[in-house]
Amino acid sequence: MAQVEATTERIIAADADTVFDALADYKDVRGKVLTGHFSEYEVREGGDGEGTLVHWKLQAASKRVRDCLLEVSEPTDGQLVEKDRNSSMVTTWTVTPAGEGRSKAVVVTVWDGASGIGGFFERTFAPKGLGRIYDELLQNLATEVEK
């Protein structure tokens, strides 16, 4: 079983604290910036960074829907980690300064891929598809914090 990884990044015209606080705000902001690929969004515990438990369904492909129940932690400043209780999927959001009034947001998702021919196609196509989804999400986040 090979690990699959998808990475996306964006420079956002807002300071790193503002961007991080928006990402960590699962109560108000996160639901607004999710793309149409996400459904059944629900904050089950917490709602602000560390200790949050959030649920959603992610439809990355027409026939593939992941039911995600994510535990949120903040292992270091500027970093959120979402670990899915239902799978091996882990998403890490890192926000760092990128010059005056700008920040760099990076999202990396990793999971244990399937084996065989299905795994080959998953490793080949899933990172691109998930990358497009997170690129759109980061654009929505930029629009939200650059107001």
The label of the residue with tokens 């991080």 reads 20
Note the pTM of the prediction, 2 decimals: 0.90
What local confidence, expressed as pLDDT, does residue 126 receive? 72
CB 13 within 8 A of CB 101: yes
What local confidence, expressed as pLDDT, does residue 117 receive? 67
What local confidence, expressed as pLDDT, does residue 13 receive? 98
What local confidence, expressed as pLDDT, does residue 102 receive? 97
What local confidence, expressed as pLDDT, does residue 103 receive? 98
* pLDDT < 70 stretches in the chain: 1, 115, 117-125, 127
